[in-house]
Amino acid sequence: MKLLRAKKKRRYWVHPINRGRQDKGEFHRLVRELESDDEKFHQYFRMNQAQYEEIHSLIEGDIKKVHTKFREPIGFECDPDGNDDDWIYVGD
């Protein structure tokens, strides 16, 4: 039999840790550094910057996020790169 638990009241709409992700997030800091080093960029994304931008421009219209007054969406750049390990983890 399933036990009913009292629903926990939210303390935050957006946790303070997540509020600063645009400035302080690991991805944003890392990508800024990678953009200045072509070799490291290629190692991380497995493509050069021109290829990355071309792919992004092709699919940008299909993946555009909607900004609302409630939350800032996670941009395309922050989504997983889609390698097999990431998708296996997501599937579990």
* Structural domain boundaries enclosing 49: 16-64+77-91
- Residue 66 Cα to chain centre, angstroms: 15
The total domain count for the chain is 1
Whether residue 9 is contained in a domain is answered as no
Choose the weakest-confidence range: 31-40, 57-66, 73-82. Answer: 73-82
Give the pLDDT mean for 4-16.
77
Report the distance separating Cα 54 and Cα 75, nearest Å. Answer: 16
Query: To which residue do tokens 């996670």 refer?
Result: 74
Whether residue 46 is contained in a domain is answered as yes
Task: Please tell me the chain's helix, strand, coil percentages from 3-state DSSP, rounded to the nearest 5.
Answer: 55, 0, 45
Q: pTM (2 decimals)?
A: 0.47
91 against 28, higher pLDDT: 28
**pLDDT at res. 49:** 94
